[in-house]
């Protein structure tokens, strides 16, 4: 062990959440390759393999300089045989044949295109591929029945596959801020997801909404959505209700890592010109034709140029203030970081972390404590929140 430590060139803690995070990646060639294999595994319903590749990529991302030989990786965590084989291949031959063949496989290309449609997951894409649908044209020609989300996703495909910039995220933030302030003064919005981590682009924009007084956030989401709709800012929206406090047994942890906050999945119609359209959104309403693939600029019958806009995926989440800290932590990401944080909490601290609460598994208490209104609700024999530890 001591000898190994002596020869180890890098030292990286086991859990991703214990590492310093950085946006500077010195091993992008390797991590891109591993991420591609992770994506392929996820799209093929092989989540275990997907996580293994994501963990391996995260270790390489944490290294302070480029790797030139697999020997340097001795003693590092999360690097399984498969990942090491890929890394060795790339270091020795500049590319990995497995990565190349995956990238070029028709099935992978089809999975990527089809799951690139908002509302289409791996299972649906797989079913379509088995029906001979491999691209958007074939999907359109097939006469497949699409749900409302998928219809909107297909309609705005080109816009939604363009990365969202920080500037666009901020512009949407201003609109959401105005919406929230109009319907509930005092309510606060926070930019979450990748942009909160300092990323410069993202696939969507995520916001967490709360109010400093517990309970005031109830009923907020439909009002925000109505306001946005009335100003013509939404091309699509679907709101799911908060189910956290509804179940009879109290806040039982959901089976997946999906949380139970009230959430709105939407597609925003973001005015592209400098600012005026955001300030005077009524100029948009009813004026602009539906988005057509690859166009966001339209000319009216009179030849007058209309406002340019683009479609952007936006997620809104509402949390009561008592759960805000957990929601903020849970929604900042990255997905792997969150997963590792929960694993670390469970395995190393005997605690259960979710976007709603932190439970100490050892405490045999019976209360779920909601601050600051100090409402107590009987929920289970084994758990107790430790919100004070986090705030
Ligand atoms: P992006 O949008 O591709 O640039 O990257 P992120 O990191 O913003 O990813 P996104 O938008 O899918 O999700 C933001 C974070 O929120 C993600 O790191 C994990 C978390 N998250 C997403 N969906 C859920 C959910 O249903 N429940 C919980 N608890 N967390 C979620
Ligand atoms: Mg995001």
- Alpha carbon of 289 to ligand 1 centroid (Å): 31
Task: Return the percentage of the chain with pLDDT > 70, whole number.
Answer: 78
Q: How far apart are CA 76 and CA 49, in angstroms?
A: 18
Residue among 193, 197, 259 to mutate when testing ligand 1 (max atoms within 8 A of CB): 193
pLDDT reading at 316 higher than 90: yes
Which neighbouring-strand residues pair with 131?
none
Q: How confident is the model at residue 23 (pLDDT cuts 50, 70, 90)?
A: confident
Indicate where the chain has its CATH 1.10.150.20 domain(s): 106-152
To the question of domain 2-102 being in CATH 1.10.150.110, the answer is yes
Residue nearest atom 30 in ligand 1 by C-alpha distance: 331
pLDDT at 112 over 50: yes
pLDDT at residue 211 greater than cutoff 80: yes
Give the atom of ligand 1 at the shortest distance from the alpha carbon of 261.
Answer: 27
Structure tokens at 48: 């275990």
Radius of gyration of the chain (CA): 23
pLDDT for res 292: 38
Please report the atom of ligand 1 found closest to the CA of residue 193.
8
Q: Where in the chain is the domain with CATH 1.10.150.110?
A: 2-102
State the span(s) of the chain assigned CATH 3.30.460.10: 164-332
> Ligand 1: distance of its center to the CA of 336 in Å?
10
Q: What is the mean pLDDT of residues 116-120?
A: 97
Catalytic residue, candidates 89, 126, 204, 259: 204
CB 351 within 8 A of CB 359: yes
What integer pLDDT is reported at residue 245 of this predicted model?
Answer: 53
pLDDT digits (tens, 9 = 90+) for 134-146: 999 999 999 999 9
Q: Which of 122, 96, 81, 92 is nearest to 31 (CA)?
A: 96
Distance, in Å, from the CA atom of 65 to the CA atom of 26, rounded to the nearest integer, reads 5
Dihedral angle sign, alpha carbons of residues 305, 307, 308, 310: negative
**Superfamily of domain 164-332 in the CATH hierarchy:** Beta Polymerase, domain 2 (3.30.460.10)
Identify whether 32 is a catalytic site residue: no
Quote the ligand 2 centre to 314 CA distance (angstroms): 8
Mean pLDDT across the chain, nearest whole number? Answer: 85
Q: Find the range with the poorest average confidence among 82-96, 124-138, 200-214, 239-253.
A: 239-253
What is the residue with the minimal CA distance to atom 7 of ligand 1?
A: 194
Query: What residues does 312 pair with on adjacent strands?
Result: 268
206 counts as catalytic: yes
- Which residue, judged by its Cα, is nearest atom 3 of ligand 1? 203
Determine the pLDDT at residue 258.
65
Residue 206 CA to ligand 1 center (angstroms) comes to: 8
Could you tell me the distance, in angstroms and rounded to a whole number, from the CA of residue 120 to the centre of ligand 2?
A: 17
Q: The domain 106-152 is classified under which CATH number: 1.10.150.20, 3.10.20.740, 3.40.50.11540, 1.10.600.10?
A: 1.10.150.20
Residues lining ligand 1, judged by CB closer than 6 Å? 193-194, 199, 202-204, 206, 257-259, 330-331, 333-335, 338, 355
pLDDT band of 62, cuts 50, 70, 90: very high
Per the annotation, the verdict on 141 as an active-site residue is: no
What pTM was computed for the model?
A: 0.83
Residue carrying structure tokens 């009879």: 248
126, 206, 259, 360: which is the annotated catalytic residue?
206
């Amino acid at each position: 062990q001591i000898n190994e430590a002596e020869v180890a060139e890098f030292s990286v803690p086991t859990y991703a959440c214990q590492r310093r995070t950085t946006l500077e990646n010195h091993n992008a060639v390797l991590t891109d390759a591993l991420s591609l294999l992770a994506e392929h595994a996820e799209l093929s319903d092989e989540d275990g393999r997907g996580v293994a590749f994501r963990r391996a990529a995260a270790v390489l991302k944490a290294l302070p300089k480029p790797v030139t030989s697999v020997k340097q990786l001795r003693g590092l965590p999360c690097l399984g045989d498969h990942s090491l084989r890929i890394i060795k291949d790339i270091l020795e031959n500049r590319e990995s044949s497995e990565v190349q063949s995956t990238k070029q496989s028709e099935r992978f290309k089809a999975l990527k295109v089809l799951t690139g449609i908002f509302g289409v997951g791996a299972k649906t894409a797989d079913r379509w591929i088995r029906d001979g649908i491999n691209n958007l044209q074939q999907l359109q020609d097939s006469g497949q029945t699409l749900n409302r989300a998928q219809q909107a996703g297909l309609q705005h495909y080109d816009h939604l596959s363009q990365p969202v910039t920080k500037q666009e995220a901020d512009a949407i933030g201003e609109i959401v801020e105005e919406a929230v302030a109009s319907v509930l003064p005092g309510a606060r919005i926070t930019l979450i997801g990748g942009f909160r981590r300092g990323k410069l682009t993202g696939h969507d924009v995520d916001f967490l909404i709360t109010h400093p007084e517990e309970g005031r956030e109830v009923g907020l989401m439909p009002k925000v959505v109505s306001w946005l709709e009335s100003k013509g800012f939404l091309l699509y929206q679907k709101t799911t209700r908060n189910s956290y406090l509804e179940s009879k047994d109290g806040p039982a942890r959901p089976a997946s890592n999906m949380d139970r906050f009230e959430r709105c999945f939407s597609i925003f119609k973001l005015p592209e010109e400098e600012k005026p359209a955001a300030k005077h959104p009524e100029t948009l309403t009813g004026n602009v034709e539906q988005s057509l693939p690859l166009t966001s600029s339209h000319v009216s019958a009179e030849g007058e140029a209309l406002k340019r806009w683009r479609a952007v995926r936006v997620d809104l989440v509402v949390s009561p203030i008592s759960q805000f800290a957990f929601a903020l932590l849970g929604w900042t990401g990255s997905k792997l970081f969150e997963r590792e944080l929960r694993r670390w909490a469970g395995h190393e601290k005997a605690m259960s972390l979710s976007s709603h609460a932190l439970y100490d598994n050892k405490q045999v208490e019976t209360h779920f404590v909601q601050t600051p209104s100090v409402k107590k609700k009987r929920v289970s024999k084994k758990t107790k929140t430790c919100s004070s530890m986090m705030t």
